[in-house]
């Protein structure tokens, strides 16, 4: 990586018009159905007691499954809190949106960029030349307040203008209970947020690959500059990096932010992925036990994630190729029916202890009452609907399992039958009968009149 080195973790038969319309309906139904992995919106979230969350130690907490848009736990989500270091998530979003395509661009540090910066700093100097990439890593990995201010002024010309960008972006994301006054998270009584807003902002950051790449980096090396030798920058999120504090390291975690202020307490915003499930965990306003060297933002976030991974899973409720039913087939000389099977699997995000036998039900609907040979293998012929606790959670298309050839003899007989029962044939027969009757009657009248005439003049 330029200007630095990063260490990262981890063919169907003919149908009538009506039949085709019915088939089209089922195809549309299938396409509009939930994705193979889906959340159950009626399922209740967990309580702090179920999770084991020690509410006395945190101001607010949130646990969210990203793939299924499901809130596993929400505690004090709308309580007003100080954002502390989570401010840098928004600063990072704007910085990457503005400068993500110009990572090698050189920024010269000015006195204005460093004025008034306190707290955690990398130690950049006036006149020092750094790339945008180096500053992003310094801010998002090392938590450098000076890097945040340098980027803010480089982008907007002043802290005030950049803060305006931050607040407008928060509003755009629906984070209306959030107000920023600086780009670093230095405490200000006029700067506030909520856990719910922080989740919205964090999800926006999660969808920026470069943001997640940077914040998942455990160590970054800023190469020597015109004012300094090389610097090692370690991630201040102990879930991701174990360079200074290893007891909080969480192997499945990646990205986001952690930090603290005296007034706002400890916070952590992190994602963790295991077995195809990704969770966003947020803990804010947490305390610490200095006597026993415990930071509760980490311990409680770990409880949230452990609960999620232990309690929920992607469970297969329909297997691909599962035979569901048989459907009659006509015009075949070899079989009277063909089996329908599922075209794919259906996987649901469910509690691990879900009672699948009683809570998951299935119903089927075939497109046709009868299929007419020839039938192609894999031909769509119905839909299997799956319900969880009386709520539709997915549909799987049903297809034929084998190809069925047409019997030409039966086909010919069917054509004859169809012709013989057709309107044209029936009309022709009736017309012929009527014509014959008329002819016979006319001939009878003619012969009668002829005999009568002959008798009169004989």
- 149 and 234: one domain? yes
- 397 and 256: one domain? no
Residue 190 structural domain: 46-309
- 363 and 433: one domain? no
Mean pLDDT within 34-43: 46
Number of domains in the chain: 3
Question: What is the C-alpha separation between 110 and 353, in angstroms, rounded?
Answer: 59
| 3-class DSSP string for 146-189 | HHHHHHHHHHHCCHHHHHHHHHHHHHHCCCCCCECCCCCCCCCC
- 211 and 64: one domain? yes
Give yes or no for residue 33 having a pLDDT over 60. Answer: no
Q: Is 407 helix (H, G, I), strand (E, B) or coil?
A: coil
Give yes or no for residue 35 having a pLDDT over 60. Answer: no
Considering the domain boundaries, does residue 129 fall inside one?
yes
What is the DSSP code (8-state) at residue 243? S
Considering the domain boundaries, does residue 21 fall inside one?
no
Residues sharing a CB contact under 8 Å with residue 41, sequence separation 6 or more, in sequence order: 70, 391
- 63 and 148: one domain? yes
Considering the domain boundaries, does residue 14 fall inside one?
no
Considering the domain boundaries, does residue 237 fall inside one?
yes
Give yes or no for residue 34 having a pLDDT over 60. Answer: no
- 324 and 198: one domain? no
Q: What is the pLDDT of residue 333?
A: 82
The percentage of the chain sitting over the pLDDT mark of 70, rounded to a whole number, equals: 83
- 275 and 343: one domain? no
Give yes or no for residue 281 having a pLDDT over 80. Answer: yes
Mean pLDDT within 362-373: 93
Question: What is the C-alpha separation between 278 and 66, in angstroms, rounded?
Answer: 6
Residue linked to tokens 């569901």: 324
Q: What would the pLDDT profile of 52-104 be if each residue is shown by its tens digit?
A: 999 999 999 999 999 999 999 999 999 999 999 999 999 999 999 999 999 99
Output b/e per residue, 104-119; b: 16+ Cβ within 10 A. Answer: eeebebeeebbeebee
Q: How many C-beta neighbours within 10 Å does residue 24 have?
A: 11
State the Cα torsion 65-197-34-345 to the nearest 10°. -20
Q: What is the pLDDT of residue 426?
A: 63
Considering the domain boundaries, does residue 12 fall inside one?
no
Q: What would the pLDDT profile of 191-233 be if each residue is shown by its tens digit?
A: 999 999 999 999 999 999 999 999 999 999 999 999 999 999 9
- 74 and 218: one domain? yes
CATH code for position 264: 3.40.710.10
| DSSP codes of every residue in 77-101 | TTS-B--GGGHHHHHHHHHHHHHTT
Q: What would the pLDDT profile of 398-449 be if each residue is shown by its tens digit?
A: 999 999 988 766 556 556 666 566 566 566 657 766 677 787 777 777 777 7
Question: What is the C-alpha separation between 266 and 283, in angstroms, rounded?
Answer: 8
Output b/e per residue, 69-99; b: 16+ Cβ within 10 A. Answer: ebbbbbbbbeebbbbbbbbbbbbbbbbbbbb
Q: What would the pLDDT profile of 314-342 be if each residue is shown by its tens digit?
A: 999 999 999 999 999 998 888 999 999 99
Mean pLDDT within 122-139: 98
- 195 and 324: one domain? no
Q: What is the pLDDT of residue 441?
A: 77
């Amino acid at each position: 990586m330029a200007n630095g080195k990063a260490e990262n973790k981890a063919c169907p038969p003919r149908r009538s018009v009506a039949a085709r319309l019915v088939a089209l309906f089922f195809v549309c139904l299938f396409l509009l159905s939930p994705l193979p992995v889906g959340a159950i919106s009626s399922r209740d979230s967990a309580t702090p007691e179920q999770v084991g969350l020690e509410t006395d130690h945190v101001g607010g907490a949130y646990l969210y499954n990203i793939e299924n848009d499901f809130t596993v736990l929400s505690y004090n989500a709308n309580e007003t809190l100080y954002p502390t270091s989570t401010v840098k998530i928004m600063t990072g979003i704007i910085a990457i949106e503005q400068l993500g395509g110009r990572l090698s661009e050189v920024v010269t540090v000015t006195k204005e960029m460093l004025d008034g910066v306190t707290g955690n700093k990398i130690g950049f100097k006036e006149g020092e030349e750094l790339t945008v990439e180096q500053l992003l890593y310094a801010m998002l990995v090392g938590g450098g307040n000076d890097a945040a201010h340098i980027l803010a002024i480089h982008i907007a010309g002043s802290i005030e203008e950049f803060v305006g960008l931050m607040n407008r972006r928060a509003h755009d994301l629906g984070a209306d209970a959030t107000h920023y006054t600086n780009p670093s998270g230095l405490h200000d009584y006029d700067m506030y947020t909520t856990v719910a807003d922080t989740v919205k902002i964090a999800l926006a950051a999660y969808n920026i690959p470069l943001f997640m790449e940077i914040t998942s980096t455990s160590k970054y090396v800023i190469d020597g500059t015109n004012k300094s030798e090389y610097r090692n920058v370690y991630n201040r999120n102990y879930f991701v990096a174990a360079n200074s504090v290893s007891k909080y390291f969480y192997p499945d975690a990646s990205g986001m932010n952690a930090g603290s202020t005296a007034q706002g307490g400890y916070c952590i915003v992190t994602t963790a992925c295991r077995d195809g499930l990704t969770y966003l965990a947020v803990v804010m306003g947490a305390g610490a036990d200095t006597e026993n060297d415990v930071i509760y933002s980490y311990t409680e976030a770990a409880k949230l994630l452990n609960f999620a991974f232990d309690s929920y899973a992607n469970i297969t409720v329909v297997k691909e190729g599962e035979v569901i039913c048989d459907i009659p087939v006509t015009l075949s000389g070899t079989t009277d029916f063909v089996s329908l099977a599922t075209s794919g699997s259906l996987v649901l995000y469910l509690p691990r202890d879900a009672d699948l036998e009683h809570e998951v039900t299935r119903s089927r609907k075939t497109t046709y009452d009868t299929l007419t040979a020839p039938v192609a293998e894999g031909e769509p012929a119905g839909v299997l609907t799956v319900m969880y606790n009386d709520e539709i959670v997915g549909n799987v298309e049903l297809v034929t399992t084998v190809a069925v050839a047409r019997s030409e003899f039966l086909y010919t007989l069917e054509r004859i039958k169809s012709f013989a029962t057709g309107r044209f044939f029936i009309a022709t027969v009736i017309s012929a009968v009527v014509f014959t009757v008329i002819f016979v009657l006319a001939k009878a009248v003619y012969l009668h009149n002829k005999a009568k005439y002959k008798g009169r003049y004989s």
